[in-house]
């Protein structure tokens, strides 16, 4: 790489039409000049611009290589979604994509100022599209298929052998992902106080890892449901392969249609797909499915209480391209739902936010080693960049704690500890 002249934004002349990118570039660079956490280095063809400070060794310290100055116009008119779109299209790149998403996550006020300049008609169109994708009983299967039905073989390229597509919990700093996924399941089962005589219901099967772990290690019965056909087929085969048909029943049903009552309930990172319009329905269903002395554990990605309403009503890259119909609850939203529509009490909370960042780092690293296989499946470089941006986007959010992850334990009125 040739040497570039480093220039601090505070000394940058604000000249309209100074170079290709013009006014849009000037406005975006002015916003970037408000960077307060970490640093961002923008490498253009003939100069390098430094924003923020590199004094803090913990960072984040991001570097963006601009390949097309139309990037600035796109971000000015398209906001944070356009940041992802332009990465996918190759208008910019970075030697460390997660550091870029960390830098923006750590400077949320700056990011929101940038989004405020987004065309209001575009914001309205995005919100209208997202509203059309809300998770009604009829729409939920389509929204799930949009993500999970990419194919079991695709997900197997970067997940651990148990196919857990949720935050692992690392028992030690150097534990591998497979061990961390098993430890996560162990913690959940211990929190549930599972016994052989229990009947456990699971909302959101995934690829069957939780159900199989509970049946094999605690010898209980499990009824689990999913609305992803790909996951349903995989889980049924996995159960049969292990000879657990007498203990595990896999259903292809919407959680709202489940009947009966169960001793214990688990739901791992399914609430994110519920949609805020249906939180009361979700928690009401959890309460209805549990016996009067029952116990439940859910694992949930959360938004901070302070940013929940703004994030709920906004459409970001994840809602647009990865999880249509999705929404992250806050801890306060969960607590209020428990109080308003259930007879359950929140009795335990485990913060595993850092573990999720480490999980995503593992997934991303493994994904990069499998690019030949990804392409052999028919996925092109645009898809690969989209998937990389998604993984880095989430990891950066967890690293900077603008989103969190918790294991939440809830109990019914007649629950008593073992």
Q: Which residues are catalytic?
A: 394
CA torsion, ordered 19, 23, 24, 27, to nearest 10 deg: 110
SS3 track for the chain: CCCCCEEEHHHCCCCCCCCCCHHHHHHHHHHHCCCCCCEEEEECCCCEEEEECCCCCCCCEEEEEECCCHHHHHHHHHHHHHHHHHHHCCCEECCCHHHHHHHHHHCHHHHHHHHHCCCHHHHHHHHHHHHHCCCCHHHHHHHHHHHHCCCHHHHHCCCCCCCCCCCCCCCCCCCCHHHHHHHHHHHHHHHHCCCCCCEEEEECCCCCHHHHHHHHHHCCEEEEECCCHHHHHHHHHHHHHCCCCCCEEEECCCHHHCCCCEEEEEEECCHHHCCHHHHHHHHHHHHHHEEEEEEEEEEEEEECHHHHHHHHHCCCHHHHHHCCCCCCCCHHHHHHHHHHHCCCEEEEEEECHHHHHHHHHHHHHHHHHCHHHHHHCCCCHHHHHHHHHHHHHHHHHHHCCCEEEEEEEEECCCCCCC
Could you tell me if 334 and 300 are in contact, meaning their C-beta atoms sit under 8 angstroms apart? yes
Burial of 353-385, coded b for 16+ CB within 10 Å and e otherwise, reads bbbbbbbbbbbbeebeeeeeebeeeebeeebbb
Q: How far is 397 from 272, CA to CA, in rounded Å?
A: 15
Could you tell me if 296 and 268 are in contact, meaning their C-beta atoms sit under 8 angstroms apart? no
Q: How far is 32 from 40, CA to CA, in rounded Å?
A: 8
What are φ and ψ of residue 264, in 5° steps? -135, 160
Could you tell me if 297 and 407 are in contact, meaning their C-beta atoms sit under 8 angstroms apart? yes
């Amino acid at each position: 790489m040739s040497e570039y002249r480093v220039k601090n934004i505070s000394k940058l002349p604000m000249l309209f039409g100074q170079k290709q990118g013009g006014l849009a570039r000037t406005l975006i660079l002015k916003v970037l000049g408000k960077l307060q956490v970490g640093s961002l280095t923008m490498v253009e063809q003939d100069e390098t611009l430094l924003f923020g400070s590199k004094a803090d060794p913990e960072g984040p310290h991001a570097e963006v290589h601009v390949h097309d100055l139309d990037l600035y116009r796109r971000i000015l008119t398209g906001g944070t979604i356009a940041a992802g779109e332009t990465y996918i299209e190759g208008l910019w790149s970075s030697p460390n994509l997660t550091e870029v998403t960390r830098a923006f996550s750590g400077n949320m006020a700056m990011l929101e100022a940038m989004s405020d300049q987004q065309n209001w008609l575009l914001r309205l169109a995005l919100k209208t599209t997202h509203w059309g994708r809300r998770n009604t009983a009829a729409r939920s299967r389509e929204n799930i298929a949009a993500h999970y039905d990419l194919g079991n073989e695709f997900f197997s390229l970067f997940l651990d052998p148990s196919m857990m597509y949720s935050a692992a919990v690392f028992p030690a700093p150097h534990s591998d992902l497979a061990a961390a996924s098993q430890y996560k399941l162990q913690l959940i089962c211990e929190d549930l106080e599972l016994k052989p005589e229990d009947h456990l219901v699971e909302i959101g099967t995934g690829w069957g890892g939780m159900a199989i772990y509970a049946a094999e290690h605690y010898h209980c019965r499990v009824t689990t449901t999913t609305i992803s056909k790909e996951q349903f087929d995989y889980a049924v085969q996995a159960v049969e392969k292990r000879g657990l048909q007498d203990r595990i029943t896999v259903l292809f049903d919407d959680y709202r249609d489940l009947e009966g009552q169960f001793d214990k309930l688990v739901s791992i990172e399914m609430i994110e797909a519920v949609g805020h319009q249906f939180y009361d329905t979700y928690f009401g269903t959890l309460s209805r499915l549990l016996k009067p002395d029952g116990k439940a554990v859910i694992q949930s990605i959360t938004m901070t209480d302070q940013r929940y309403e703004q994030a709920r009503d906004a459409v970001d890259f994840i809602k647009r391209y990865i999880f249509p119909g999705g929404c992250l609850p806050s801890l306060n939203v969960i607590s209020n739902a428990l109080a308003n529509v259930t007879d359950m009490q929140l009795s335990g909370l485990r913060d595993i936010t850092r573990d999720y960042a480490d999980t995503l780092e593992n997934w991303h690293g493994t994904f990069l080693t499998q690019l030949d296989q990804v392409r052999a499946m028919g996925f092109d470089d645009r898809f690969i960049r989209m998937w990389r941006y998604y993984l880095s986007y989430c990891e950066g959010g967890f690293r900077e704690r603008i989103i969190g992850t918790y294991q939440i334990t809830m109990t019914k009125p007649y629950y008593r500890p073992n």
